[in-house]
Structure formats: C-alpha cells, structure tokens
Amino acid sequence: MKKTDSEFRSGPIPGVFATVALGLFFFVPFAIMLTFSFYHKIPGGLYEPAFEVDNYLRFISPFFTQILLISTGLCSLASILALFIGFILTYFMSRMNKRGRTLWLILLVSLLSLSEVIIGFSWSILFSRTAGIGGWMYTLGLLDAPRAFAPGFGALLTALTFICVPFIVLVMFPPLTRLPKEWVESARMLGATPLRAVITVVVPSVRPALIAAFILAFIYSLGSYVLPIMLGKPRHWTISVHITDQALYQANIPFASALSVFLIVTALSLIALISKLQNRFT
C-alpha cells in the first residue's frame, strides 16, 4: 500500500534525515573544533595532539578579558539601539495600510540583500574626511577642519546597528500586526498618553518577540567580521575577527578553535534562553 503525504511526513524518514544532516553539518565540525581547542601549539605555527586547558585559561587573562568585554559590550549596545529603532519603525508600520506596509517590507528586505562589504564601504565613505560627514560639517562651519569619523567606535556602532535593524523588524512585524488596535485605543480612552499606551500595553504583549529580536541581533553582530575591520580599530574588533587573526595571521589554530567554541556556546546559550523565556511568558 502506498503511503500518503501525511503518513510520510509523520514517519521516521524526515526525523532520520534531520538527525543525519545535523550530525554531519554541525556536530561533526563542532567535535573536530572542540578537539583542536585542547591541542598544544608548538613553535613554527604547528600543533600536536594533547589535552591542555591553557587555551581556555587565556580567556581570564587581562588582555583577552578586555577583548571579550569590549566585544560583548559593543554588540549589546548595538542590539539595544537596533531594538529601539526597529520596534518604533515596526510599530508605525503596523499602523499603516497594507500598501504602505508592503513597500516598507520590500525596502527592508532589499537591505538584507546587500553584502556586508557594500554596507561597510558605504559607511566608510559617509564617515570619511572629505566626502562624508566630516567634510559637510566643515563646510557648514561646525568644524575647524575636515575630520574622519572612521575608524572609530561610533562608526562601527552605527554600522552594526544599521545591519541589525532589518532583522529586528522581521521578527517584530508578525506579533505587532496581529496585536488588536482596540487595546491601544482602549488605553487612550482611559487617559493614557500614546507613549504610555505603547509601554503599558504593546510592549508587554510582544515581550517574547522583543527578547528573541534582541538576542538575534546580538548573535548576528557578535559574528560580524567585515564591519569591525573596515570601521573599527583593533581594540573594537569582535570575536570573529580575533578568531581569524589567531587562525591565519598568528597561526594559532588551537586558540582560534577555543574562541570558536566560546562563540558557539554563547550563541546556543542565548537561543536556549530565548526558549526558556518564551515558555515563561506564554
């Protein structure tokens, strides 16, 4: 007897395929990387099998502790700014008619099609000395001389916030559009100001989506590679840049593997936190 589509989807084949794919493309590479993170580095850019925790102990050294704090702090700040801007933008989009929402969604999705290299070059020109903001401010008499704002913390923070906003909007758009408009109108009729109505009614209703959007932006910005190199100074580099630096330029594969394990564990921990918080608030 031939199986129906519903019987095929509920059978063991999809589960086996998903398990094999997850094992081949995630668990096997992760196991290899985890193994290399305990290897011993020897002079000349080589390494040998061992079981050393020195690569992980380097995380608590003052130098790399500062790197981790700056990287996580920068990405957290960029995620908070992106969440603030994205929430406001999505809220006003949810109040538009269908045509207006569609146009804004097309615009935001088109931004996702741009590569990080194009975005980085665009912001580097905008923050340049002559053709960018520094030259404009000098022309208007706001500066005594043209000034370049990149590389710098502010330029990198702006670019990271920019690339995270579309992801925030895509996560926040479904729950905000499904939110009944009568709830906000009822709060307004009871005397709440527009801002207070949003804070007391809208924000608690979409709290799980806000948490998910923030963590998504944080993970994405933490893994950014091109923007920190183009717009930031070495002290502003994210963990992804330091992984490449250790693997390619310092020839320290074991320590680069340890940094990669730390990045993956951080991402998985945040995803687990999303699931726990969503189960708590739903």
The full set of domain ranges for the chain reads 62-281
Angle at 130 between CA 124 and CA 133, to 5 degrees: 60
H or E segment and range at residue 79: helix 62-94
CA nearest neighbour of 169 among 206, 197, 194: 206
Structure tokens at 255: 């320590």
- pLDDT tens digits for the chain (282 residues)? 445 555 445 556 666 777 777 777 778 888 888 888 888 888 766 777 888 888 888 888 888 888 888 888 898 999 999 999 999 999 888 888 888 888 888 888 888 888 888 888 888 888 888 777 877 787 777 777 778 787 888 889 999 999 999 999 989 988 888 887 777 778 777 777 778 888 888 888 888 888 888 888 988 888 888 899 988 888 888 888 888 888 888 888 888 888 888 888 887 887 787 777 666 655
* Calpha distance 23→26 (Å, rounded): 6
- Name the phi and psi angles at 42, rounded to 5: -115, 160
CA nearest neighbour of 242 among 222, 213, 219, 265: 222
CA 263 to chain centre: 12
CA nearest neighbour of 86 among 70, 54, 108: 108
With beta carbons less than 8 A apart as the criterion, state whether 68 and 237 touch.
Answer: no
- Decide: residue 221, CB within 10 A, 0-12 exposed, 13-18 middle, 19+ buried: buried
CATH number (3.30.70.250, 3.30.590.10, 3.20.20.70, 1.10.3720.10) of 62-281 reads: 1.10.3720.10
